[in-house]
Chain A
């Protein structure tokens, strides 16, 4: 709904209006001030008294719209718009035990010019944007995981190959292949876990910065980046699996090579 707004210094007994904090800040409004609201720039409108200033709910869907909102009693808005007894939507609370889907179907049988929908359906529809963003994030995550896997495999290979001469000496003095393989695998696992924990710490710091930035940018309390225990677990488990897998591959190559070749005389 479009309303034109104009703060005015006049003080009187007016219908009350609650103003969203960002709008109040933009217009320099305080509780008790009077403002003129109109349905179009060329209409005279009506005077309202600022009864409250409120923070909007943490609704991610409203973030990008940048709409500035105010709340007033329904009859006041209807009078302002010149549309008495007309609404956009109405909420219906059902008695306990009544199914929303059944009730909506029954209403729709006799409805004309309107449609009843269960809240769940509306929520699913209105969260479509976030579903798309989530799919996008998942796709990016797949690419990131592939890149990380290759990176990890590469590092593990280098790390294990760095131990060529150590492995050669161990083989020369009679240490079994299995022992060398186990030691290299243990080293790979330790590196993967330490790396994963370090990564989580960096992610936590980056998430905190992201929240700080976007909460300031959108003037909202919505949380943008959230690291849950499940994410931590997934990160550590994935690193461990990839790290140990890559380490095992590299270690296998190493222990299968002749000690003389490892020493560089093969």
Chain B
């Protein structure tokens, strides 16, 4: 009966209840978004790193992958050593370098980003149309969609790729004519990044690092059960001149860089809960004050304090449940909108997402909202249950 009364009390003032529910819905939406933002960055980054199952990134000592222009020398020796390791399933060295291409038609130079990699591992790309590079293909190239658009090229077209330019001679230091084998999506590219990819030896020649056999990083895949801190420690011992980054290490570095968003999520999430508390407390306190006479009557006819307390708290919970439900829908819509803004960060992989729904944190947020609603109702409920019966009835009679 108390529950029924509690819920029905909200219908006495429909406009007031609707406004409160709307307020709670917006606060709940903000809370939901902030919960998704707080851990979503890491989850999304981790998912991206493990997109092709490589659990380790090896980069030059003291650097993070592609964070500087530094490269690993004699990378073939490193790869050979790693391939002999029984724990290692696959290794693929990658060279990233700024190169140029001649636009088909007007021959003008456009700046490109070039990947040199082992095509057989499919570590970096996802084929959209055309075909993959064959192993040892020294005349083929893969283009990302933005690069294809810049170069005005399609599969089977021939494009001219230029390595370093020599300003003094006003001529390209290295130039190759390559056949476009396919158009791909580069997994780690930011939106609109004009990237192309060839085999590692060819890219080393274009970037003029072939003699030192350099690569920017190496991706290493080990058996899943062996991707442990012990394996990380062993690889670090075996490769003292190289930075061995596990997924957890990279996520940690990334988290440090995006600490602002985590803290913003924490602050705004807390503010949302405070707003919910204020709304529910205000509404219930005023509602309770308006019906003190009724409450005193209930107490007079023998309704216990606990029942009065329960009824008012149920009112708070019903408000929060309805507001929270609407807020969830609103939060999912606003998360998409906010994600579209944040993923336009320059240099951020296009596949990255800031707002990732995860069941556990969302359940925790829901619980936090419910507990908040219940706690917010506690004060007005306590006031109601403690109202002096005779005094209130006397005041009502006047």
Contacts and interface: CB of A to CB of B under 8 A. Distances in A.
B134 interface: no
Interface stretch (A96-104, A133-141, A185-193): A133-141
Interface string B9-29: 000010110011011001101
Given A4-B62, A129-B346, A136 B26 contact: no
B165 interface: yes
Contact of A151 (B62, B278, B338): B278
Interface string A25-61: 0000000000000001110000000000000000000
Given A42-B241, A157-B16, A2 B345 contact: no
Interface in A154-169: 154-155, 157-158, 161-162
A143 B29 contact: yes
A46 B241 CA distance: 19
A250 to B, nearest CB: 9
Interface string A91-127: 0000000000000000000011110000000000000
Contacts, number: 95
Interface string A1-35: 11010000000000000000000000000000000
B63 A162 contact: no
A143 B342 contact: no
A147 B26 contact: yes
A82 to B, nearest CB: 12
Contacts of B334: 139, 143
A114 B338 CA distance: 37
Contact of A132 (B166, B279, B341): B341
A229 B29 CA distance: 30
B170 A112 contact: yes
Range of interface residues on A (Cβ < 8 Å): 35 or more
Contacts of B89: none
Interface range, B side: 35 or more
Interface string B163-181: 0111100110000000000
A201 interface: no
A150 interface: yes
B228 interface: no
Contacts of B259: 217
Given A66-B256, A140-B268, A153-B19, A2 B282 contact: no
B40 to A, nearest CB: 14
A128 interface: yes
A146 interface: yes
Contacts of A65: 257
Contact of A129 (B16, B268, B345): B345
A136 B341 contact: yes
Contacts of A42: 241
A221 to B, nearest CB: 17
Interface of A: 1-2, 4, 40-42, 64-66, 111-114, 128-129, 132, 135-136, 139-140, 143-144, 146-147, 150-151, 153-155, 157-158, 161-162, 217, 253
Interface of B: 13, 15-16, 19-20, 22-23, 26-27, 29-30, 60-63, 68-70, 73, 164-167, 170-171, 241, 256-260, 268, 275, 278-279, 282-283, 286, 334, 337-338, 341-342, 344-346
11 contacts: A41-B241, A65-B257, A66-B257, A112-B165, A112-B166, A113-B165, A132-B344, A132-B345, A144-B30, A150-B19, A154-B20
